[in-house]
A and B are shown apart, each in its own frame.
Chain A
Amino acid sequence: MKILYFAWLRERLNRGEDEVTPPPSVTTIADLLNWLANQDEALALALANPAQFKVSLDARIQPHDAPIAGASTIAILPPMTGG
């Protein structure tokens, strides 16, 4: 699956996206954020406070307990400031 990063999160990681294959034990958005944070030091630092991020599955925002099965593009969204 593709993971998209936006705004200061994208800048902090120095990349806009990752292609990842999480293990079957990763079933929800919360699991995924936790799993990503264990992948490398930059992700660990950037995702240290997962509650601040909204997450979308295939361009629809979903709660952190939502299952990720079937989603192909998951975006991690820092607090929004638009408008």
Chain B
Amino acid sequence: MSVTITGAPFDPGALSNAFLAQSDSAGAAVTFTGIVRSTPDRPITALILECYVELAENEIATLRAEAIKRFALLDASIVHRHGRLLPGQPIMQVMTLASHRQAAFDGAQFLMDYLKTDAPFWKQEETAAGTDWVEAKPDDDAARQRWT
């Protein structure tokens, strides 16, 4: 496992179990799963993710290598969906494996913060009224800045 950009649904539990089973020397694993959300104040019927797949693979592979080096991770795995997703479906999964918990948490947060700002995905919310592009959030840029 390393970097997977896919148009197909994935099973977070199965991926997590396979990731955990690969090492006896790790003391900590962090699994983060992003999920499509529909809320009462902003109900959506679907989330559509546009992606430049080749660029996403290149950029996320570089990011993964940097995270492994920076936090001395034993491994890191990133799965990201594109296409049309329904509320409740996983969009992305970030997993880190490390000797100790702090590195596993930090590595996962670092990967998440960069994925929000530097990975070539664009979201469209589909509602009963049509589709709208989601705008980039200043908060995401601020979250990324803490690692520089």
Contacts and interface: CB of A to CB of B under 8 A. Distances in A.
Which of B49, B112, B133 lies at the interface centre, i.e. has the most chain A CB atoms within 10 A of its CB?
A: B133
A75 B91 contact: no
A21 interface: no
A53 B49 CA distance: 18
Interface in B93-139: 112, 115-123, 133-137
B92 interface: yes
B55 interface: yes
Contact of A82 (B51, B54, B133): B51
Given A80-B120, A81-B122, A81-B134, A7 B55 contact: no
Interface in B62-103: 80, 91-92
Nearest to B133: A8
A61 B59 CA distance: 8
B122 A78 contact: yes
A32 to B, nearest CB: 17
Interface in A38-62: 56, 59-61
B58 interface: yes
B54 A59 contact: yes
Interface in A1-50: 4, 6-8
Nearest to B51: A82
Nearest to B123: A81
Contacts of B116: 80-83
Interface of B: 34, 49-52, 54-55, 58-59, 80, 91-92, 112, 115-123, 133-137
Interface of A: 4, 6-8, 56, 59-61, 75, 77-83
26 contacts: A6-B120, A7-B122, A8-B133, A56-B52, A56-B55, A59-B58, A61-B59, A61-B118, A75-B55, A78-B122, A79-B136, A80-B116, A80-B119, A80-B122, A80-B136, A81-B116, A81-B134, A82-B49, A82-B51, A82-B92, A82-B121, A82-B123, A83-B112, A83-B116, A83-B119, A83-B121
